[in-house]
């Protein structure tokens, strides 16, 4: 990997984590801003090729969520690749505008939703898709992406595989995403949907396609700290799969779980199993999983090197789709 020079916007908790891990990979941060005045100093020196006399290969945006759109747009307009913390923006229109701008300028836009790179989730995703396809009778009809051309109407992209079939009976499959933590002063510029719900929506849309999903209902408490969402896969081979989401950032507990139930005729479906996406310290608090950020940064640098095909565009689209749902009232 060639050495990269980067700019950091937002030098708080997440900005510090991003910086430390990128520096461990050999990235040099040539400029950092933690407020608008400091950012203006960078913009005075910044051109498409140089920042303070040095080339800027990419920018990391870890500022408050309400500022993500403006900062990301600034760099994308100058064709400087961007890694931006979630949420991509605070409205669906702004999020889609950034995705379109990145595509227009052929510039990498990467949204840091590290939960998607959590090794616990990656293991869950692998086994859940395998079990789901097996239960739907499609386990013996999977193909590697390179072995079969996607045909109109008869194949569906699920993760990294092609799965045959149009209307497999998935109506008994139910997912429940639950994410709670105690009150924090961080991320108070947006409500809980744009703060927490986008995490689990990002996970969900690595399993199912946005265009196949309908929103049944979404509720938010007046406190802006609790929300519930119900989605249903209404089209495609996984038609009938449902998902409940519950988020609370003013809770008495710290929880990050995914529960799966397959349902049984004549009885309550219950939960066939529950996976915790977090590891816990002896005092009950959630332990940070360093592999998530490390996996995320390594993947971003691979994309920056030109590897992994269109995965960067796919991740950006998923992030925009998450904002479209999370910002819906």
pLDDT of residue 104: 98
Give 126-135's long-range contacts (Cβ < 8 A, gap of 24+): 128/207, 128/260, 129/158, 129/159, 129/161, 129/207, 132/170, 132/173, 132/238, 133/158, 133/161, 133/163, 135/173, 135/262
What pTM was estimated for this model as a whole? 0.84
pLDDT score for 271: 61
- Spell out the alpha helix ranges (H) of 184-232: 192, 198-204
Query: What is residue 170's predicted lDDT score, i.e. its pLDDT?
Result: 67
Mean pLDDT value across the chain: 84
Q: Kindly list the structural domains of the chain, giving each domain's residue range(s) and its CATH number in brackets, ordered by start.
A: 5-114 (3.40.50.720), 119-288 (3.30.360)
| Calpha distance 55→73 (Å, rounded) | 19
pLDDT of residue 126: 96
pLDDT of residue 45: 77
pLDDT of residue 53: 55
pLDDT at 103: 97
Q: CA nearest 295: which of 72, 73, 123, 61?
A: 123
Question: Which parts of the chain sit beneath pLDDT 70?
Answer: 1, 47-54, 138-171, 187, 220-223, 264-271, 284, 286, 288, 290, 329
pLDDT one-digit tens code per residue, 221-253: 556 899 999 999 999 989 999 999 999 999 999
Res 171: pLDDT: 67
């Amino acid at each position: 990997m060639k050495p990269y020079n980067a700019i950091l916007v937002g030098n708080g908790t997440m900005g510090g984590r991003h910086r430390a891990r990128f520096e461990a990979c050999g990235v040099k941060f040539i400029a950092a801003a933690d407020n608008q005045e400091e950012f203006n100093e960078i913009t005075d020196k910044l051109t498409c090729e140089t920042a303070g006399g040095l080339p800027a290969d990419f920018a990391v945006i870890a500022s408050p969520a309400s500022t993500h759109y403006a900062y990301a747009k600034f760099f994308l307009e100058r064709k400087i690749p961007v890694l931006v913390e979630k949420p991509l923006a605070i409205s669906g229109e702004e999020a889609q505008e950034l995705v379109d701008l990145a595509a227009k300028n052929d510039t990498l836009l990467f949204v840091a939703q590290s939960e998607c790179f959590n090794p616990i989730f990656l293991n869950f995703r692998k086994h859940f898709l395998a079990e789901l396809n097996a239960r739907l009778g499609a386990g013996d009809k999977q193909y590697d992406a390179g072995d079969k051309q996607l045909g109109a109407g008869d194949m569906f992209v699920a993760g990294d595989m092609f799965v045959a079939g149009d209307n497999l009976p998935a109506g008994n499959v139910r997912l429940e995403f639950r994410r709670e933590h105690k009150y924090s002063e961080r991320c108070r510029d947006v409500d809980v949907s744009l703060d927490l719900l986008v995490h689990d929506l990002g996970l969900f849309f690595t399993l199912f396609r946005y265009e196949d999903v309908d929103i049944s209902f979404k509720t938010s408490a007046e406190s802006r700290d609790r929300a519930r969402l119900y989605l249903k896969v209404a089209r495609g081979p996984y038609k009938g799969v449902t998902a409940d989401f519950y988020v609370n950032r003013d809770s008495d507990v710290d929880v990050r779980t995914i529960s799966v139930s397959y349902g049984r005729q004549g009885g309550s479906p219950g939960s066939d199993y529950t996976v915790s996406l977090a590891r816990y310290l002896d005092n009950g608090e959630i332990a940070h999983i360093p592999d998530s950020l490390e996996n995320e940064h390594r993947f971003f640098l691979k994309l920056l090197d030109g590897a992994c095909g269109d995965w960067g565009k796919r991740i950006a689209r998923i992030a925009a789709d998450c904002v479209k749902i999370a910002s819906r009232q």
